[in-house]
Structure 1
Amino acid sequence: MELKDLYITPFYLALIYGIAYGVRGSVTNVYTKKYFIPALTVKIVGAIALGILYHTLYGGDTNNYYHQAGIIYHAFGDSFAAGLELVTTSGDITPAISKYVSRMTWFGHGSNEYFVIRVAAVFALFCFYTYTVIAILFAAITFSGMWVMYMTFSKIRPQAYKELAIAVFFLPSVFFWGSGLLKDSLCLGALGWLFYCFYRGAIERKNIIRCLVLGVMMSAVILSMKTYILLAFMPPALLWVFNESTRNIKSAAVRWLAKPLFLGVGTLVAIFAMSQLAAADARFNLDKIGEQSKITADYLQQVSKTEQGSGYNIGEQDGTLGGMAKLAPQAIVVSLFRPFLWEARNPTMLLSALEASYFMLLTVRIFWRVGFFKTIGAISSVPVLTLCFVFSLIFAISVGISSGNFGTLVRYKIPLMPFYLSGLYILQSLTVPQAAARAGQRRLAGVPRLARAHA
């Protein structure tokens, strides 16, 4: 950060808030309006706080993104054509950009980080290459995806709109790690838009063409950075659409006939998508997913040895899908409910431990008050709950197995956190009041009739 951050940033903050107040009325309702500005504010605070932390203590990714975006920014100053080619390149190195590429650690089609650098470089053109402004612009575009995610959840279950705001916006790990100049921010925002497109286009069947185009764009954004997010989200999203579509069919016979058709189409789409992805990138061939996971986990566990005990071990990986399946239960626990409070080694781990403890307490509370089988029945019968929990579990297995380090796990798992907690709150609003009412009726049934009459 530099001196220019202090006098340029306030102007852009004023501009962002001016736009926010201008559009608030058209993207909120009477219940959600009060959360719009506070939610935007925590995203901006998270982006600035992350920048301060990385610039003063950690170093690392966000600084690298900024410095390499600066190479493209200065390339625009030398030659607009060279700068534009660096932003739009497919990965080929030409004479016009070779001297800039030689200074970049992350470049080309095979680099998941280069998409972030492109976006940061474009933002840099409009703010004189000012880190804080770039960071809050990342926060603002991420917020747009988070807001449509929140509005979608609130439309599905408006009775829980207060709790859903907490789940989507106010989890410390999500607004800290998912707001600044990082891949996680762009992926989280794109995932929110993709969730909205599925609901608006495929379930409500409104603005279908626009949702299709936007959904494809958001999928491409995620694919360019973190493909595994899309791999974890698409199957439960297709299942969500299938469940919603068949639920609206009144005839039981037609529903039973339609189910194989919907499942068959969804399976074909999933197989085609996987085959195309594997053809484009061998890392995502089904035969190599286990091997790639083992390589990633081994690397991160080596890194954790220098990070004051932030590593964890859920078992030995053998690089096969079967080996991953054996570790799935431990991976779910570590992703959703760890680090435990006594495992926290620094302030950021403590925040993650507090969140994980809350996830555990709320999960146990719902299962205890409603009952295990009734809770599972509610999850399987309510399509949006099926989406939330299936996606969360798939994603938890993926990041829990491949991370091996609490420091990286807290960043990797943020896409599942709004979905899991939203699922818990929706489940609570559907089941806990009913369970409490039934318990009250049972207690009342045990009181003598005369006593009830006097009461």
Structure 2
Amino acid sequence: MGIQDLTITPLFFFILLFIAYLIGPVVTNSKTRPYYISALLVKFMAAIMLGIIYQYYYGGGDTFGYTTYGGDWIFKAFMDSPAKAFKLIFLADQYHFSDTFQYSQHIWYYGDLHSYFVVRVAGFFGLFTLSTYSSTALFFAAFSFSGSWALFTAIANLYSNQIKKCALAILFIPSVIFWGSGILKDTLTFGALCWLVWGLIHIVENGSKNPFKIGIVILAAFIIYSIKIYILMCFLSALFVWVYLKNINKIKNAAIRILIAPILLSSLLFVSYYSVESIGSTSSHYSLNNIAERAMVTAYDIRYGWGARGGENSGYTLGQLDGTWASMFRLAPAAINVSLFRPYLWEARNPFMLLSALESTLLLFLTLKAFFVNKSIGQTLKEPFLTFCLVFSIAFAFAVGVSTFNFGTLMRYKIPMLGFYLLAILINPKKIDKSITKRAYFS
């Protein structure tokens, strides 16, 4: 980040804000409109603040690996030859070209397929922003916002009389705003996950066969697959639970439902297992045979290796991992707990951990309220979409909690599941209004 950010970024800030104003009447309705611009502005501010904090507090990090040592070199290639930039964005990592080596040799993540996907996106946006960090960050934030807004409008239509709860869960969780807005993997995967669920709400809940929405689902799944495969693996199991409950609830005759349920459930379990196995088999790290060992290696690497750069006091341990599924499942309760409710207030060792601890404490309070005051969890499990939210968030909490062992890293990794968990514990099924409000385009 430099002087160029101060001159070019304001221009793109107002351009993107102006575009948002133009399309606002199309993507909002009377109930969602009050949240529209405020949600976008906090994403923009977070994207810029993340860059400032990484530069002046951490002294570097992934975000500059994607830009200074990534996208900037694609822009330099573009200034010399647009064809070379095209190769680096669309063909690199599949083919190594001698005429682009002078640029690719400086790109840190050129050999890392998943990380280089972020470099491609940063490089593409950089062609428009003159490779200015903060301006490029605004485009990342805009993409993330587009997904979260689309998802919010769809969910707000399902639960139109609990819209404030929907807004809190999808648009205004502080850690999700911060870690899901800057130039990071998490921003792209979060935005894509929101688009994916938006499309599936229309397909599963509303029975839509719209080719555009099906196309968005495929594109969003591709983005997630290209960056963080494990998100998709956790998601698929929860998706089949959603599909099962939605279809079994359509059968009104109790006798037929009892007869069909085992067949439908077995079929979906088989498809779920095959889908997860198929996705995992495309990477040796995430095949079902290797995933337990991978979780162990990643957890200890983050705890004692590169992840420890954030400070020894940021680390945690749940117990001994030995690379087997048994050791992972033995730590499952502790892993879910650490993702949802830790760090505790007394574990905070720096300002960021304190903010995370405050958020986790509030999440614990809301969870206890849902179980013991509202007593709504039983009703939640009767709602297919809310059950999906709960299953996905718990499965994801287990996956990242057992394989991270560092609070600083965990703060980033857990953002995909936070909104869905909040929806599951905040939305009261007893108060769902089944009437349909005037829909925005995305809803």
Q: TM-score range, shorter-chain basis?
A: over 0.9
Mapped partners of 2:260, 2:85: distance in 1: 52
User: 1:21 maps to which residue?
Assistant: 21
What SS does the aligned partner of 2:207 have?
coil
Q: Residue 212 and residue 305 in structure 1: after superposition, are their counterparts in 2 closer, same or farther (change >3 A)?
A: closer
Mapped partners of 1:184, 1:352: distance in 2: 17
Say whether residues 1:424 and 2:428 are aligned partners: no
- 1:308, distance to aligned residue in structure 2 (A): 4.4
Mapped partners of 2:35, 2:330: distance in 1: 42
- 1:123, distance to aligned residue in structure 2 (A): 0.5
1:132-178 superposed Cα distances (whole Å, 9 cap, x missing partner): 11001100011010011111221221121012111111111110111
User: 2:108 maps to which residue?
Assistant: 105
CA contact 1:344–1:350 (8 Å) conserved in 2: yes
Mapped partners of 2:158, 2:224: distance in 1: 25
User: 1:338 maps to which residue?
Assistant: 342
Mapped partners of 2:271, 2:5: distance in 1: 47
Figure out how many residues of one structure are paired with residues of the other and give that number. Answer: 427
Residue of structure 1 aligned with 2:237, choices 224, 235, 238: 235
CA contact 1:202–1:208 (8 Å) conserved in 2: no
- 1:2, distance to aligned residue in structure 2 (A): 1.5
- 1:207, distance to aligned residue in structure 2 (A): 4.0
Of 376-385 and 143-152, more deviation after overlay is shown by 376-385
Mapped partners of 1:75, 1:170: distance in 2: 38
- 1:267, distance to aligned residue in structure 2 (A): 2.7
Mapped partners of 1:205, 1:185: distance in 2: 29
Mapped partners of 2:392, 2:148: distance in 1: 17
User: 2:46 maps to which residue?
Assistant: 46
Mapped partners of 2:269, 2:104: distance in 1: 41
1:208-227 superposed Cα distances (whole Å, 9 cap, x missing partner): 32222211111110011111
1:26-51 superposed Cα distances (whole Å, 9 cap, x missing partner): 11111111000000011101101101
Mapped partners of 2:257, 2:415: distance in 1: 36
- 1:99, distance to aligned residue in structure 2 (A): 2.5
Show structure 2 runs of 5+ residues with no match.
Answer: 433-443
1:3-30 superposed Cα distances (whole Å, 9 cap, x missing partner): 1211211111111111111111111111
1:345-402 superposed Cα distances (whole Å, 9 cap, x missing partner): 111111111110001011112212245xxx4422321112211111111001011011
CA contact 1:193–1:215 (8 Å) conserved in 2: yes
Matches within 5 A, 1:438-449: none
Of 302-311 and 312-321, more deviation after overlay is shown by 302-311
User: 1:272 maps to which residue?
Assistant: 274
Mapped partners of 2:64, 2:42: distance in 1: 21
Mapped partners of 1:296, 1:142: distance in 2: 27
User: 2:162 maps to which residue?
Assistant: 160
User: 1:404 maps to which residue?
Assistant: 405
Matched letter for residue 185 of structure 1: T
User: 1:57 maps to which residue?
Assistant: 57
User: 1:290 maps to which residue?
Assistant: 292
- 1:112, distance to aligned residue in structure 2 (A): 1.3
User: 2:437 maps to which residue?
Assistant: none
User: 2:323 maps to which residue?
Assistant: 319
Say whether residues 1:93 and 2:92 are aligned partners: no
What SS does the aligned partner of 1:281 have?
coil
User: 2:33 maps to which residue?
Assistant: 33
Mapped partners of 1:262, 1:92: distance in 2: 44
What SS does the aligned partner of 1:367 have?
helix
What SS does the aligned partner of 1:105 have?
coil
User: 1:443 maps to which residue?
Assistant: none
TM-score (norm 2): 0.92
Mapped partners of 1:104, 1:305: distance in 2: 24
CA contact 2:233–2:280 (8 Å) conserved in 1: no
Larger-Rg structure:
1
TM-score (norm 1): 0.90
1:229-278 superposed Cα distances (whole Å, 9 cap, x missing partner): 11111111121122122212333344334434433442343233233223
1:405-424 superposed Cα distances (whole Å, 9 cap, x missing partner): 00000000001111111111
Identity across the alignment (%): 39
Say whether residues 1:355 and 2:359 are aligned partners: yes
Mapped partners of 2:255, 2:101: distance in 1: 64
1:48-77 superposed Cα distances (whole Å, 9 cap, x missing partner): 110110111211011111111111111111
Show structure 1 runs of 5+ residues with no match.
Answer: 433-455
CA contact 1:66–1:131 (8 Å) conserved in 2: yes
Mapped partners of 2:263, 2:23: distance in 1: 42
User: 2:439 maps to which residue?
Assistant: none
Residue of structure 1 aligned with 2:71, choices 65, 69, 72: 69
| Higher RCO (CA 8 Å, separation ≥ 6 residues) | 2
Q: Residue 133 and residue 207 in structure 1: after superposition, are their counterparts in 2 closer, same or farther (change >3 A)?
A: farther
